[in-house]
């Protein structure tokens, strides 16, 4: 059955990718960059990643020894977990979490251990976690903690104090931090993105994951990377080689061009998403959703208790079939589906007219 709903579910833009990088990809194909790249990534892209990481975060990385380019950050995450985890290990994951982290941990033989991010009481507050719950999660079997900042689905941007607490526990328990920073340039309200690898004592125990998908609006290109100390990189590169051999060669060249875009590009990107956020949230609020205002990334997590549905899946089906707007059910972001039973997530990485159409449809929900 096709319902023709406006898709505010998946996190991909419905507007064009930047012209410069599309040209760079076309040129690379025309210049016959069409065979396997070096398995851990084209030199041009690795150099560009190292250069920009120094510029943006002040972190020096060796492009020859500390970067693995992968098929999206999705592959960087699973390659990292497969490289570092043994059967019986535990991986701490904040929840709600980006859907892949749970299955990724399990596929690597590890057991995910969830620590709750709790929603704020009102829409302008911040998602927080309980320090005691986090401390309790660390133990002798903990291999790694997966962190995602700015965060999908909550929009939380972890503060320095929170990161320092996590750092102290990682050092104490000899635990790796695997940080997914794919939304690093999508920040609002003056919040600052702090890379875990920048904190004292973390450079040698952090794997930083990033990619082109969100920053350059090319989710279909499948180019991402993992930055890690040499010994961990060696293991990640082996897994990556056997999983995929390499990421698309011409698109890696376009990646090098993308990473050379001027600073204004990133300002416009964040400002464009801020406008979309501030466009969608009032429509959702007017329709009866309680919105948790994101400080980064391009999603808004909402509370649906005002609508009187028993669970998020029934409500999402209703929204798709009767109202014509598709969200992601909140339960898909939790280990125990009951925890997300009164939440749904909307993505606002869409054209203004797409958001307008969704808002118009959502206003019918208000009147029911
Ligand atoms: N990490 C997070 C937190 C995401 O939200 C997404 C996509 O929604 C991804 C990774 C996937 O990224 P990629 O396209 O680089 O595999």
Q: Ligand 1 center to residue 219 CA distance, Å?
A: 8
Distances, alpha carbon 291 to alpha carbons 128, 140, 149, 314, in Å: 16, 38, 19, 19
**Would you say residue 367 has pLDDT above 60?**
no
Average pLDDT for 21-37:
98
The string of pLDDT tens digits covering residues 278-320 is 999 999 999 999 999 999 999 999 999 999 999 999 999 999 9
pLDDT score of 35 more than 70: yes
pLDDT tens by residue, 179-230: 999 999 999 999 999 999 999 999 999 999 999 999 999 999 999 999 999 9
Atom of ligand 1 nearest to the CA of 12: 8
Which neighbouring-strand residues pair with 177?
Answer: 145, 206
What does the pLDDT read at residue 366?
Answer: 64
Determine which residue's CA is closest to atom 5 belonging to ligand 1.
Answer: 152
Distances (CA, A) of 231 to 51, 80, 84, 105: 21, 12, 11, 21
Look at ligand 1, atom 7, and give the residue with the nearest C-alpha: 11
Decide if pLDDT at 1 tops 80.
no
Residue of the CA atom closest to atom 12 of ligand 1: 73
Q: Given this model, what pLDDT does residue 85 score?
A: 97
**Alpha helix segments (H runs only) across the chain:** 19-30, 43-57, 72-84, 101-107, 131-137, 160-172, 230-244, 249-258, 263-287, 312-318, 352-367
**Which pLDDT belongs to residue 123?**
84
Region 73-83 average pLDDT: 98
41 lines ligand 1 (CB under 6 A): no
Q: At residue 309, what are phi and psi to the nearest 5 degrees?
A: -90, 150
The pLDDT confidence band at residue 77, using thresholds 50, 70 and 90, is very high
Packing angle of the helix pair 43-57, 249-258 (nearest 10 deg)? 30
* Ligand 1 centroid – CA 367 distance (Å): 35
| Cα 152 to ligand 1 centre (Å) | 9
Our answer on whether the CB atom of 11 is closer than 6 Å to any ligand 1 atom is yes
Is this model's pTM higher than 0.85 or not?
yes
Taking the centre of ligand 1 as the mean of its atom positions, its distance from the CA of residue 348, in whole angstroms, is 15
Mean pLDDT in residue range 129-143: 98
Whether omega for the bond prior to residue 195 falls within 30 degrees of 0, making it cis, is: no
Choose among 102, 144, 114: nearest CA to 339: 114
How much is the mean pLDDT over the chain?
Answer: 96
The average pLDDT across 228-240 equals: 98
DSSP state of 92: E
Q: Is 53 in the pocket of ligand 1 (CB under 6 A)?
A: no
121-130, 166-175, 236-245: the lowest-pLDDT one: 121-130
């Amino acid at each position: 059955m096709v319902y023709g709903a406006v898709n505010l579910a998946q996190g991909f833009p419905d507007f064009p990718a930047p012209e410069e990088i599309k040209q760079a990809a076309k040129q690379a194909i025309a210049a016959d960059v069409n065979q396997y790249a070096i398995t851990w990534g084209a030199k041009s892209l690795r150099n560009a990643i190292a250069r920009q990481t120094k510029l943006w975060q002040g972190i020096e990385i060796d492009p020859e020894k500390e970067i693995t380019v992968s098929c999206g950050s999705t592959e960087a995450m699973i390659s990292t977990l497969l490289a570092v985890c043994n059967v019986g290990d535990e991986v701490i994951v904040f929840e709600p979490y980006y859907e892949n982290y749970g299955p990724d941990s399990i596929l690597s033989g590890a057991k995910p251990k969830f620590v709750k991010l709790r929603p704020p009481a009102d829409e302008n507050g911040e998602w927080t976690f309980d320090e005691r719950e986090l401390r309790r999660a660390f133990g002798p079997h903990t291999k790694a903690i997966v962190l995602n900042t700015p965060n999908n689905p909550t929009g939380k941007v972890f503060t320095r104090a929170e990161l320092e607490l996590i750092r102290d526990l990682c050092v104490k328990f000899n635990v790796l931090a695997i940080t997914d920073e794919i939304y690093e340039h999508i920040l609002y309200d003056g919040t600052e993105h702090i890379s875990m690898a920048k904190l004292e004592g973390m450079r040698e125990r952090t794997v930083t994951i990033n990619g082109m998908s969100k920053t350059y609006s090319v989710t279909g290109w499948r180019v991402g990377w993992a930055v890690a100390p040499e010994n961990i990189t060696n293991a990640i590169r082996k897994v990556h080689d056997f999983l995929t051999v390499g990421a698309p060669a011409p698109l890696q060249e376009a990646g090098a061009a993308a990473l050379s875009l001027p600073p204004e590009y990133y300002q416009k990107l964040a400002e464009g998403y801020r406008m979309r956020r501030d466009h969608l949230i009032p429509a959702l609020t007017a329709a009866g959703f309680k919105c948790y205002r994101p400080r980064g990334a391009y999603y808004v997590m909402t509370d649906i208790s005002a609508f009187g549905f028993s669970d998020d899946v029934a409500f999402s089906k209703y929204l798709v079939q009767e109202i014509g707007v598709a969200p992601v059910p909140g339960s898909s972001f939790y280990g125990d589906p009951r925890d997300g039973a009164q939440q749904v997530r909307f993505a606002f990485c869409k054209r203004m007219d797409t958001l307008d159409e969704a808002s118009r449809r959502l206003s019918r929900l208000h009147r029911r």
